[in-house]
Structure 1
Amino acid sequence: MELTYLRTFREVAKWGSFTRAAEALGYAQSSITTQIQKLEESYGAVLVERFGRGMKLTIAGEALLQYANDIYRLHEESKEVVSKQSKGTLSIGTIETLAAFFLPPKLQAYRRDYPDVNVVIQPGNEPFIIDSVKEGALDVGIILDPPFSDPELHVNILREETMAIIASPDHRLGELSEVRVEDLESESLIMTEDGCTYRAMLLKVLKGNQVNYNLSYEFGNLEAIKQCVIYGLGIALLPRITVAEEIRKGQIVAVPFVHPECKFYTQLIYSKKKWQSKAFLGFVELIGGINHQNH
């Protein structure tokens, strides 16, 4: 039963709430409270304390969480080894751009080969995805970044993504073959939300080159950004794959943004501690992210 309690403990740690953990696990909240109390009795330590409206791990709880993650990972590994089947869940963390415009055909092919695997897509920004993969909360992450490295992770570059300034068809930048940072002087920019890697890059090079601009709108949604550009409310920096359909329809022009720091790659990341099940390896190989040196 303690494995069940540790699973519950991990959910409480994840959500910072007994109520949210109960919803995620399908338990009554009283059951969550009882399980945590029994776990605390077993370890002889307070693991969770109330913090404002939520819950926070104590120092003892933080220490146990590391072991709970390892125990859960080993338990999943043991089930895979014993069953020798390609079942279970594959959790993928990625940004909206890749979830919408890169992953769907890959997932279609994966479903064909592994129909019994439940694939869960967890959207988020790069820092969240990287931390979740390192902690074992996600099996793999697919990020859009300059070449990334971390001693705890395997990182495989899948492809380079063309970054483009998108504008309405009658915008002056549409006449250029490429856009340089000085071409953005006094332009109205429509930005992705904070935490986006290519947003951070653009702001950095604008500041570094002392280029004046107007930050007109910020959205966490790509469709909103594209619609504002179509209506002539400003320009935006986006991966070209996100606007292929709008370009085809003549609603948007996309001009490559040229700068030494504007080199972005779709990359697959996974923990060096990750148990590589048949279903996991199948996904990594399908997506083109296998690193034969590691296997």
Structure 2
Amino acid sequence: MRYVQLRAFHYVATSGGFSRAAEALFLTQPAISDQVSKLEDEYDVLLFNRIRKQVVLTAAGQELLQITRRLFDSEQQALALLSESRALQSGNLRIVADSAHHLLHILAAFRKRYPGVKISVRSGNTETVVASLHNYEADLGILGEMPTLKNFDCELLSSSPIIAFVAVGHPLAGYKKLTFAQLTDQALVLRERGSKTRVKLEEAARAEGIELKPTIEAEGREAVREIVASGVGVGFVSLAEFGEDTRLVPIRLDPEDRMMMDEALICLHERRSSKLVQAFFEIARKSSTVTA
């Protein structure tokens, strides 16, 4: 087994095909195909199912990918260690967040101090954030809770209650505060399962003896916002994430002390020593706020 064969496999698996892997590695497609085929032949294992023009990982391929993710991530860490001075000048930082709202002021400060660093940000719920970090697909994550897993380092960014919100013309728009009992006959627009906001909201309602049943389930915070803005029903979000939207009216929930959302910056403990990760944590620590 050679390094070039593992590298070819890894890039095909992560880029989604032989031609894209060839482009990423500045090689020809036949060269990539040959390297992967030699790896499969030498160990008599099928790593990809070739279906027409698509390639799909087999079970063995998925297991190998988990290993090569660690292998090539370690390689990147080694390169970063050997070129620490350059890491803060022209490195790459990958962030996955359940809400980009909590990143804005940190990103502005980070970009001002390290203008040469390329930053990529993508969104996802709690499950996506944790999986992306475990799979080495991201360096940093933003979660709607302080994680209890031992292999994470974290920094509290903010803490705020979950609130309800409705469109300006909605019958509840004049309310300052709502109880769960007042929501039982309303059309509720809830996030997808796996959303920490939904989990905490439903747990607090059950503690009051009430089961919240969604009229509409929407994937993502922005989808919920747009549906509610159309006048369909009642949505929910943390106060820190509500922002400014003249189409919507925020309403406090009672009891809100049971529905506090702690937004945290997290990374795998083993990645904490990375210069870019350290720098981001440092700026986040100075910028963190708690919203009441």
Mark the CA change 1:62 to 1:164 in structure 2 (over 3 Å): closer, same or farther: same
Partner of 1:80: 80
Distance 1:47 1:276 in 2: 37
Select the residue among 234, 251, 254 that pairs with 1:255: 251
Partner of 1:33: 33
Is 1:244 matched with 2:243? yes
Deviation of residue 21 (structure 1)?
5.1
SS at match of 1:159: strand
Q: Alpha-carbon deviations, 1:75-100, whole Å to 9, x = none?
A: 222222222322321111112xx22x
Where does residue 293 of structure 1 map in the other structure? none
In structure 1, distance between residues paired with 2:248 and 2:80: 48
Q: How many residues end up aligned between the 2 structures?
A: 281
Cα gap change, 1:285/1:18 in structure 2, threshold over 3 Å: closer, same or farther? same
Q: Which aligned pairs between 1:114-153 and structure 2 lie closer than 5 A?
A: 114-145=114-145, 147-153=146-152
SS in 1 for 2:232: coil
Q: Matches of 1:23 and 1:259 in 2, distance apart?
A: 52
Cα separation, 2, equivalents of 1:12 and 1:289: 40
Query: Which residue of 2 is the match for residue 90 of structure 1?
Result: 93
- Alignment-derived partner of residue 68 in structure 1: 68
1:270 positional shift: 0.8
1:149-178 deviation per Cα after TM superposition (whole angstroms, max 9, x unaligned): 112211322211332100133545444443
- TM-score normalised according to structure 2 size: 0.80
Instruction: Decide whether the 8 Å contact of 1:149 with 1:155 is kept in 2.
Output: no
- Conservation of the 8 A alpha-carbon contact between 1:114 and 1:279: no
Q: Deviations over 1:220-250 (max 9, x none)?
A: 354443333233211100123443311xx3x
The structural deviation recorded for 1:119 is 0.8
Q: TM-score, normalised by structure 1?
A: 0.79
RMSD: 3.3
Unaligned runs of 5+ in 2: 288-292
- One-letter amino acid of the counterpart of residue 115, structure 1: P
Contact 2:189 2:216 in 1 (8 A): yes
Q: Tell me if structure 2 keeps the 8 A contact 1:93–1:140.
A: yes
Structure 1 pair 46/233, CA: closer, same or farther in 2 (3 Å)? Answer: same
Structure 2 Cα separation of the partners of residues 188 and 63 of structure 1: 44
Identity of aligned pairs, percent? Answer: 24
Letter of the 2:159 partner, please give it.
E
Deviation (angstroms), 1:202: 2.9
What is the CA distance between 1:256 and its match in structure 2? 2.1
State the 1:130 CA deviation.
0.5
Q: Residues 57 and 117 from structure 1, CA distance in 2 versus in 1: closer, same or farther, beyond 3 angstroms?
A: farther
- Deviation digits for residues 77-130 of structure 1 (CA, Å, limit 9, x no counterpart): 2222222322321111112xx22x222332222122112211111322211210
**Distance in 2, Cα, partners of 1:105 & 1:126:** 21
- Deviation track 1:187-209 (CA, whole Å, cap 9, x = no partner) reads 10122233322123334444565
Q: 1:19: Cα distance to partner?
A: 6.1
Q: Could you list the per-position Cα deviations for residues 13-72 of structure 1 after superposition, in whole angstroms to 9, with x for gaps in the alignment?
A: 446655665677676654442232233456x3525142876522444x455444423332
Preserved CA contact (<8 Å) 1:134 1:270: no
Distance 1:111 1:262 in 2: 33
